[in-house]
Amino acid sequence: MRGNKFCFDLRYLLVVAALAFIYIQMRLFATQSEYVDRLAAAIEAENHCTSQTRLLIDKISQQQGRVVALEEQMKRQDQECRQLRALVQDLESKGIKKLIGDVQMPVAAVVVMACNRADYLEKTIKSILKYQTSVASKYPLFISQDGSNPDVRKLALSYDQLTYMQHLDFEPVHTERPGELVAYYKIARHYKWALDQLFHKHNFSRVIILEDDMEIAADFFDYFEAGATLLDRDKSILAISSWNDNGQRQFVQDPYALYRSDFFPGLGWMLSKSTWSELSPKWPKAYWDDWLRLKENHRGRQFIRPEVCRTYNFGEHGSSLGQFFKQYLEPIKLNDVQVDWKSMDLSYLLEDNYVKHFGDLVKKAKPIHGADAVLKAFNIDGDVRIQYRDQLDFEDIARQFGIFEEWKDGVPRAAYKGIVVFRFQTSRRVFLVAPDSLRQLGVEDT
């Protein structure tokens, strides 16, 4: 009896213990599930926080980049504001705005490109003012200095008759080929900046570009006024130049003669705002003058040049290190005849008229062949023409006469449709003619 009771009590205790164990396990399971849920929530919160932190870092980085860009923009704008304030003060003090606005619209702004040669610049300014003062309303004068040479700045600001501009460029120059002069890169930057200022900020319709080592002829401004009419009438003309590469005293005679050329002469030239708007966006890093001589840039358009130069370059020392100065620049003849350009009919220079005009001159010239071209030309009265086979042959003939031998992009200096013309000894003209020139002019080869 007692044994049965003990067995019942033991079973009862086991049942109670089992129920307690099950209850504890259920509680543990519930607690673990809650912990897992909380852990998952914590991990998700941490991931979200990390994601938000990364987004915040990215936004901060972007804002820092914008801040740096804004700081650089503010520096550039501050520099431009200082330059504009100086320019406005200069304009107001000298009455240039009244001179331009109240009297008449200018034919062209005249800008002298300067850097660090105060002595050269002074000579150039005096030469310009000698003839510009009486026509100042038509040709407002600017000096554009590249850099901060104090002597050049002081000299430019000492003249009430002109407006001073300063180009400050602190960007480092990276040349494209070893051994190149940095100066050619800085010059190209300066030209672009100055022409952008004059055309786009000051809104001139034309600009005449001179350098700080030039003197001008007495009829310089009348010549360019006549040239401005041609530039407006004939869109096949890219620029008007006052320079002839073969303008040495022994090769020129007629101060009234003008020519079209496929070769950009430079050294005192005028272009229009519409042309600059085309050239400015693609302006080269260096060697801007040779760049203008590339066919892809002048695109078949031509240049007007005189027989007798209206500018004289006295700059033996400069970026070109006096290259060719003694042989080609020093002997240049500066025109000394006061030509009345307003009374002259220059319609023969228009594209539709010039081919026939120039073709007639070439057609009348007597052809000579063989060796000793110089001697044969000397012994013939009247104009002569000599045909060359190729560039090497041209260079050989040019060397005999003493004219420029150089070509750029398949075009000899001063050439029109492959023909280079110059005077020889007297009023006799010599035409050096390419193999295809006569066909282009519609002239039969006799």
Residues catalogued as catalytic = 289
Strands (E), 362-438: 366-368, 384-387, 407-408, 411-412, 420-423, 429-433
Is the Cβ–Cβ distance between 313 and 332 less than 8 Å?
A: yes
Nearest Cα neighbor of 416 from 275, 257, 289, 201 is: 257
Phi, psi of 248 (to 5 degrees): -65, 155
Reduced to 3 states (helix: H, G, I; strand: E, B; else coil), residue 429 is strand
> DSSP code of 33?
H
Reduced to 3 states (helix: H, G, I; strand: E, B; else coil), residue 242 is coil
Q: How many angstroms separate the CA atoms of 425 and 333, rounded?
A: 14
Nearest Cα neighbor of 210 from 118, 309, 144, 122 is: 144
Report residue 236 as tokens.
């096949």
Strand partners, 430: 384, 422
Report residue 345 as tokens.
């009919």
Strand partners, 261: 303
* DSSP run (H or E) holding 303: strand 302-306
3-state SS, one letter per residue, for 139-162: CCEEEEEECCCHHHHHHHHCCCCE
Provide the CB-side half-sphere exposure for 324 (13 A, CA): 13
Report residue 382 as tokens.
């009247």
- Which residues are CB-neighbours of 410 under 8 A, at least 6 positions away? 295
Q: How many angstroms separate the CA atoms of 244 and 240, rounded?
A: 11
Is the Cβ–Cβ distance between 242 and 310 less than 8 Å?
A: yes
To the nearest 10 degrees (0 to 180), the angle between helices 220-233 and 118-132 is 80
- Which residues are CB-neighbours of 380 under 8 A, at least 6 positions away? 366, 368, 428
